[in-house]
Amino acid sequence: MKIIDFHTHIYPDKIAEKATDAIGKFYDIEMDRVGSLDGLLKYSQRAGIERCVVHSVATSPQQVQRINDFICESVNAHPDRLSGFGTMHQDYDNKLEEVDRCLKMGLKGIKLHPDTQAFNADDERMLEVYDYLQDKAPVLFHCGDYRYDYSHPRRIANICKMFPRLTVIGAHFGGYSVWEEAVEYLKPLDCMLDTSSSSALMEEGMFERMIKTYGADRLLFGTDFPMWDSTEELSRFMSVPLTDEEREKILWSNAARLLGY
């Protein structure tokens, strides 16, 4: 069965170790892997993952173009293994020009992390981006964290309602560490969700329950590399009793459709 990992992070080699450590400190998780391109390719190949969607996050406006160029260069170096999402920052000038440049370079969407970027997901500064991307490309949001309100599921729900033709993807089942609240806000809406950074943290039985609650048609498999080992994440997913059709949708065909494969 073919597999796409829809949620991975990579950083330039010279800052990969530092960036990975910073993520670990932000989430108070010990990081055993470095988020380098070579590291991702090694871990994903070991897990039997055919393709990874790679992204990184700009924590200042000055980083936006540099990060987008890096993601594009990485994808172009490994077009058979990688697809990329660009980044945007709420204080970046000429947002639509840069988003358009990302799409013309072949990137498949935009990834935002409101918590680390310190903006509300439904902030008016970003609405033009969401509007522009309707019918064009998806936006993948980091969603949820009991410590912050920036990416609360209700904000993602607001975006879904304001922009009904935007493909919204809520990472971490739509609400990292606030999964039940995510169900309340997002289950009734037309959005996708990924499975990343959930299976290792949820109480027993919850991972399976979330998959069943949302259904295979709305889910994308993701590991959140380098936070988690690709093989271990896949193993936890494979332990959930699903039909072959459900498993194929989550591991491959839903993602392939969004990516245009």
Query: Domain limits of the chain?
Result: 4-259
Kindly report the number of other CB atoms within 10 A of residue 98's CB atom. Answer: 20
H helices present in the chain, as ranges: 13-27, 37-47, 64-77, 95-104, 114-117, 127-133, 153-162, 179-186, 206-214, 230-238, 244-248, 254-259
The ranges of the chain with pLDDT < 70 are none
State the number of CA atoms in the 13 A half-sphere of 213 facing the CB.
21
**Rounded (10°) CA dihedral 148, 154, 155, 161:** 170
Q: What is the pLDDT of residue 19?
A: 86
- Other CB atoms within a 10 A radius of the CB of residue 38 amount to 11
pLDDT score at 232: 97
Predicted pLDDT at 32: 82
Task: Give the Cβ contact number of residue 112 at 10 Å.
Answer: 27
State the pLDDT at residue 233. Answer: 97
Strands, E assignment, the chain:
4-9, 51-55, 82-84, 86-87, 110-112, 139-141, 168-170, 192-194, 219-220
**Omega prior to 226 cis, within 30 of 0:** yes
Top-tier CATH class for 4-259? alpha beta
Convert the pLDDT of each residue in 8-55 to its tens digit: 999 999 999 998 998 888 888 888 899 999 999 999 999 999 999 999
pLDDT of the residue at 24:
83
Q: Is the pTM of this model over 0.75?
A: yes
At residue 86, the pLDDT reads 99
